[in-house]
Amino acid sequence: MHLTLRQLKVFETVARHLNYTRAARELFLTQPAVSMQVRQLEEALGVPLFEQLGKRIHLTEAGREALTYARAIHLQLDELETVLNHLKGLSGGRLRLSVASTANYFIPALLGEYSRRYPQVTISLEVTNRETLLRQLAENTVDLVIMGQPPDGLDVEAHAFMENRLVIVATPNHPLAREKRIPLTRLQDTVFLVREPGSGTRSAMERFFSEHGVRIKTGMEAGSNEAIKQGVQAGLGLGLLSRATIDQELTLKRLVVLDIRDLPIIRHWYVVHRRGKRLSAAAQAFKIFILKETHTATRDMQRSQGKSAKSRRH
């Protein structure tokens, strides 16, 4: 079958207008040129596509079939063009991502998968605390930010993609380690190790205790989750941390999560950018990727656990 995409395009236009003159006008062709293209297509297919009844032309049955396929072929070509443009935009592209220090416990695994999918993209990852993330968003120096709780007072687009549970951890030999359903009041005047000012975990912790009217004692202040975990293991006090940061310590039985009523604090992770920002193809692809991947993972997790948690935002 020797036909051309051009012939299909001309045929589709004539079929839409059921009029050669109007089709010719739309295609910037002469009317004889349009008729010739249609005739050549009819010859290639071996069937008439139009019939003349009085002054008007109509599609034949074969013409209606051919129209369905001509449209499908053009849709496929449009789709191919979109996909190729996307790929071209991604090759040599760069993703500038800034994440809260706590998010860095799960982001590298996601970046690994993203990078396998889009190997042409160069990734630059900065790991910092919430305060710096807010400044980077305000100064527009980053494509995407991963943070807990989107900023107030800044026009951003923020999509929640995963739960972030904050729990209280202690050493396995701590007196509270074996107790169940511990009331929060038992923590009154207990020493806690706290993250640095500017940390999202720290502000969520402060809000939580003040809302529940519990006063804690601040022990060591540390600039990272790792330092808090080390301090707790060394017996310097309790720690309130994201559950995402303590997988290894729980497996190795170096830390335990205390069973406290009103906990965990349930927050969420958000992928955030300034509203109206023209995201690069690489950044756009990452945003779609993270929303889709984590949605699937969360759904699978909930299915296997058969339950969903009570929600408490901080």
Residues that bind ligand PGA (CB under 6 A): 100-102, 129-130, 147-149, 195, 199-201
Compute the distance between CA of residue 102 and CA of residue 239 in angstroms, rounded to an integer: 14
Residue partners of 128: CB distance under 8 A and separation at least 6: 98, 99, 100, 101, 136
- Residue 166 CB, shortest distance to ligand PGA, in Å, is 8
**By beta-carbon distance, which residue lies closest to ligand PGA?**
200
Q: Indicate the residue among 13 and 101 with the shorter CB distance to ligand PGA.
A: 101
- Residue 112 CB, shortest distance to ligand PGA, in Å, is 21
- Residue 129 CB, shortest distance to ligand PGA, in Å, is 4
- Residue 75 CB, shortest distance to ligand PGA, in Å, is 44
Q: Indicate the residue among 139 and 189 with the shorter CB distance to ligand PGA.
A: 139
> What is the three-class DSSP state of 31?
helix
- Residue 167 CB, shortest distance to ligand PGA, in Å, is 13
Q: Are 138 and 257 within 8 A, CB to CB?
A: no
Q: Indicate the residue among 93 and 148 with the shorter CB distance to ligand PGA.
A: 148
Q: Indicate the residue among 37 and 199 with the shorter CB distance to ligand PGA.
A: 199
Phi, psi of 54 (to 5 degrees): 65, -130
Extended beta strands in the chain, E state: 50-53, 56-59, 94-100, 122-128, 144-148, 156-170, 191-195, 217-222, 238-242, 256-257, 265-274
CA-wise closest residue to 187 among 196, 172, 174, 197: 174
Q: Indicate the residue among 130 and 274 with the shorter CB distance to ligand PGA.
A: 130
